[in-house]
Structures are given as structure tokens and as C-alpha cells.
Amino acid sequence: MRTLYIECNMGAAGDMIMAALLELIDSKEAFLKQMNGLGLKGVKLSANRSVKHGVNGTAVSVTVDGREEVSIDVDMEKDQGYGFDETFGEEHSHHHSHRHSSLADIEAVILGLPVSQWVKDNALAVYGLIAEAESRIHKGPVSEIHFDELGGMDAVADIVGVCLLMERLSPDRVVVSPVHVGSGLVRCFHGILPVPAPATAYILQGVPTYGGMIKGELCTPTGAALLKHFAGNFGPLPEMRIHKIGYGMGKKDFAVVNCVRAFLGEGNAAGGANDTVAELRCNIDDMSGEALGFVCRKLIQEGAFDAFTTAVGMKKDRPGTMLTCICGVERADEFAAMLLQHTTTFGVRKDTLSRYTLEREVRLVTTPFGQLRIKVGKGYNVERAKFEYEDVAALADEQGVPIDEMIRRLWKYVGEGGHDR
């Protein structure tokens, strides 16, 4: 199983997560070119080498109209409550600009970007977590929440960048360490707030976190939302065969290395059963096909590895449907609860199974119709590739041809000299 582990010993911010994931891909310059070509108003993204305590990594800088967000940690002991020790950080200080954007404005920006629907959907979901947190804290409808224009576009760039990298890396499983949130106070648009800031604390409900002796805001709302959205579970580094390690550096300096560390690898030794999964099943005879299809789609959207139906014969000679959900063992209880909530079943059966999988990666291939994704699988003396269904289906619809014909044309071009990267 292709596994991504994100280590947050010094918290996490959007730019730090993006920088760590950027170190895991080969085409870094192409990614930066793509980000700067998205058309985000006033946004400029750059990546540079950063060394902290002798550790080399990447620091990503996001500027909006030439300005970068600044966070201000309050040193109450030094300034006796009246002064501020300004250190340049990743995000969320709201004191640069008085222009604001609504959630609808942000959503319109994301929906208008030249990225896949998968990236748009995930970016909207992450921003939705931030908006919900702000809404709960300020006791107002989500539709009435407004974001500082500088901070809003900075967060959009961070979120979309991380989603693009997640799409490129295509991990089967994302595990995140317990999150170090820092301690002390931080100054923002609304005044001096405790660390973690209220929005961060709300988003991280249900997530293992801890504080410590380090004074400062280590985990930001954007970082918290990205971790919560993409994490399949939280815990220590799982057993895995590590292929690449990325260091995403923060801009503040502490007594320890301020970075997010990302590990990419396989969750088992080569040649054996790749991993263990849970198989959940329930038999149903009183739901429509449309309702069952909705449940399967929701399970996949929530992170199930697979969900499908099988025709079965039930008690009293009744025809029925067996609904099967394949998921990570650590999330079996969560998906069982979803089956009980969204179906009419009175019980869910569970088996724990081992499975064999090919090592997977997603490549971009250039065609006359633009860049498309190809999923490549390798292992056990096997190598195969296929175009991502969503990309080909959209292209077939656009060209007005059957999908099989579209696939045939694409492979013909690739075989005649199309190139990937």
C-alpha cells in the first residue's frame, strides 16, 4: 500500500505541508510553474532551499501583491503584556489589509481554477473546515464569514497546492502524527488569542494534539484543516518501506528544527501481503438501487478503498443486495457506523483480510488534448498503466466520441511519441 506519513513534531502550516510534499516529487519546477499559472490574483509562489540546525529542506513562500503574511507571537514575559515579539511565520495574522472576501468569493475562485474536479472538491472541503470553525467561533452563519483578502488568497494557494501534490502523489493511505500546537499567545485581527488559536482548536477536535515548552503558534488553521481532511488516521510512524523523505521548513526559528517531515513509501516488505484491510458487509432487501448507489458513492468519497454491491438470495426466498465496503482496519468502526446510518440494515459483518497490491504512481502525459493523468502499477514482475477514468471520460464527452475510442486514440498518440513527466 502506497503510504504517506506526515510528521508534525513542530506543528503544521499550509506552506510547510506543501514544501514537504514538494520534496517528494521529481518535477518541482513544473509544479511551481503550474501554481504560478493558475491565475490566482496577485499570488506568487516560490520555493527555496532552507537549512535549520544543519538540516536541509525546502521553504515555500506565498506572496499576494508582493506581501507575505506575518504571524505575531506575544512574548508576555519580555514585554510585560504590552509589547510584541514579531517573528515572520506562515499565515493567519490579518493585520496587513482591510479588504475582505466572503466564502462565496473564495469558492468562486477555486471553482474557476484550471485544475481537476478532484482538486477543486478537496480544496473546497478543506476551506469549508476553516469556514465552519470561524462560523462556530463568531456565532454567525458560514455565508456571512469574511476572510482577510491577503490571508484568504494565501490560504487558497496553500490549500490548492497541497491538493495538487496529493493528486500527483496519489497515496492509498495518509497517516499523520499527533500534532504539536505550541503554547502562549498570538496576535491576530481580533486581538490577542491563546495558542492554539480558537479556529485551530475547533478544527483539531478529535485529533491527538499536545502543547509543550515552545512559545508560539505552531499549527495554523490552514495546516489543521489540511491534516484533518487528508488524514486516514493519526498515530506513530507505521511499519513501512520508506522511499522518499521531504522536509518542509517553517519561517520561524526555534531551539529545534522547525519543519514538517513527510515520508512516502510502501506499507510492507516486498513480495508479501501488502497490508491488512477490513471488509464490512451487510444484506439489504428494502432499499432502491438509487439509494444503494448513493451509499457506495459516499463511502468512496469518505475514503473507503472500494464499495460495491452483489445480488444475493436472502431469508424467505427474497432477492436482496449485499453491500460490501473495503477500508483500512483503523477506520472500520467509522465505516460500519456509516453503513448503519445510511442503510436500513440492522447489523454489519466484519472480516480482516490481507491483500496484495502493485506499487502505484500517477504520471502526467502530454497529449494533443492537454495533460492527462496515467496510473502506473509495478511489482511481482508486472507493470501496467491506465488513464485515469475521470480525465478520459471528460475528454470523451468534450470530443463527442465513445470512451473506448478516446482511450484508443490516446494510447496511439502516447505510443507514437507522447511523453510523460
Handedness of CA 295, 128, 180, 261 (dihedral sign): positive
What pTM was computed for the model? Answer: 0.63
What own/partner pairs with CB < 8 Å and gap ≥ 24 does 225-228 have? 225/126, 225/127, 225/129, 225/130, 225/133, 225/159, 226/12, 226/14, 226/17, 226/126, 226/158, 226/159, 226/162, 227/6, 227/8, 227/12, 227/17, 227/176, 227/179, 228/129, 228/203, 228/204
Residue 323 confidence (pLDDT): 97
Q: Taking 60 as the threshold, does the pLDDT of residue 87 lie above it? A: no
CA distance 5 to 176: 6
Per residue in 23-73, pLDDT (tens digit) is: 999 889 999 999 999 999 889 999 999 999 999 999 999 998 888 765 555
Per residue in 373-399, pLDDT (tens digit) is: 888 888 777 888 899 888 899 899 989
Residue with cell 448503519: 340
Q: How confident is the model at residue 187 (pLDDT cuts 50, 70, 90)?
A: confident
Mean pLDDT check: name the lowest of 5-14, 129-138, 318-327. Answer: 129-138
Bridge-based pairing of strands 359-367 and 419-420 is antiparallel
Residue 415 confidence (pLDDT): 67
Q: How confident is the model at residue 89 (pLDDT cuts 50, 70, 90)?
A: very low
Sequence-distant (6+) residues with CB within 8 A of 381 are none
Residue 81 confidence (pLDDT): 40
Q: Taking 80 as the threshold, does the pLDDT of residue 267 lie above it? A: no
Identify the CA nearest to 200 among candidates 218, 174, 173, 176. Answer: 218
Q: Taking 60 as the threshold, does the pLDDT of residue 279 lie above it? A: yes
Residue 134 confidence (pLDDT): 85
11 contacts 182 by C-beta, under 8 angstroms: yes
CA distance 31 to 157: 12
CA distance 90 to 87: 10
Q: Taking 80 as the threshold, does the pLDDT of residue 403 lie above it? A: yes
End-to-end CA distance of the chain: 23
Handedness of CA 163, 165, 168, 169 (dihedral sign): negative
List domains and CATH numbers for the chain. Answer: 2-266 (no CATH), 275-355 (3.30.70.1380), 359-420 (no CATH)
**Mean pLDDT (whole number) for 255-259:** 94
Q: Taking 70 as the threshold, does the pLDDT of residue 79 lie above it? A: no
Q: Taking 60 as the threshold, does the pLDDT of residue 97 lie above it? A: no
In order of 59, 171, 219, the CA distances from 5 in angstroms are 19, 10, 17
Q: Taking 70 as the threshold, does the pLDDT of residue 95 lie above it? A: no
Query: Residue 121 corresponds to which cell in the numbers above?
Result: 472538491
Residue 94 confidence (pLDDT): 36
CA distance 371 to 413: 12
Residue 417 confidence (pLDDT): 43
Task: Please give the share of the chain, as a percent, with pLDDT higher than 70.
Answer: 85
Q: How confident is the model at residue 412 (pLDDT cuts 50, 70, 90)?
A: confident
Per residue in 226-251, pLDDT (tens digit) is: 999 999 888 889 888 899 999 999 98
